Amino acid sequence: MEIPPKSPDGSEKSPQSKEMLTSNTTSTLCISSRSESVWTNASRSKWDIYHKPIIVVSVGAAVFLLGTVITSLSCFEIENKKIYKMCGPAFLSLGLMLLVCGFVWVPIIRKKQKQRQKSQFLQSLKSFFFNR
């Protein structure tokens, strides 16, 4: 037989207080979640949405250009030709990889934004019909 938990003053807790405790915990989790924009209706600027892919594409372009310069240096008569022939293609491929990742990331973010808008619309419809 299960004994109900007692509060610090010795009285037993009612089922309502247990429900309130669970409800309070749930709301605390929603407030402390990392993606607070999901719970709020505040619109975000384009920079807030796309700053990470823009940074990845910029770094990728810079590394790709560095690889191009290093590879082109291997065409000239320089004493460290082997190093340039090894490092140049490595920087080229790394830069190209970052460029592709950044450009692929943008449509993924757009798709997420559309899904989020649909979800918020459905939540508002649900609350309109069920909170009457």
Write the pLDDT tens digit of every residue in 22-40.
Answer: 555 554 444 444 454 444 5
The answer to whether position 90 is within a domain reads: yes
Range of the domain at 70: 49-109
User: Mind listing the pLDDT tens digit for each residue in 52-83?
Assistant: 999 999 999 999 999 999 999 888 877 888 88
Asked if residue 26 belongs to a domain, the reply is no
Q: Which two tokens stand for residue 39?
A: 């719970």
Is residue 68 included in any domain, yes or no? yes
Q: Does 123 map to a domain? A: no
Range list of H helices, the chain: 15-31, 46-73, 81-130
pTM of the model: 0.59
Is 70 domain-assigned? yes
With H, G, I as helix, E, B as strand and everything else as coil, classify residue 62: helix
What is the number of structural domains in the chain?
A: 1
Contact 51, 83 (CB under 8 A): no
Q: Is residue 85 part of a domain?
A: yes
| Residues 61, 107, 101, 39, CA torsion sign | positive
Q: Is residue 44 part of a domain?
A: no
- Residue 19 in any domain: the answer is no
Please check the confidence at residue 101 and state whether its pLDDT lies above 70.
yes
Token pair of 24 as six digits: 């309070």
User: What's the pLDDT tens digit per position in 121-130?
Assistant: 778 877 777 7
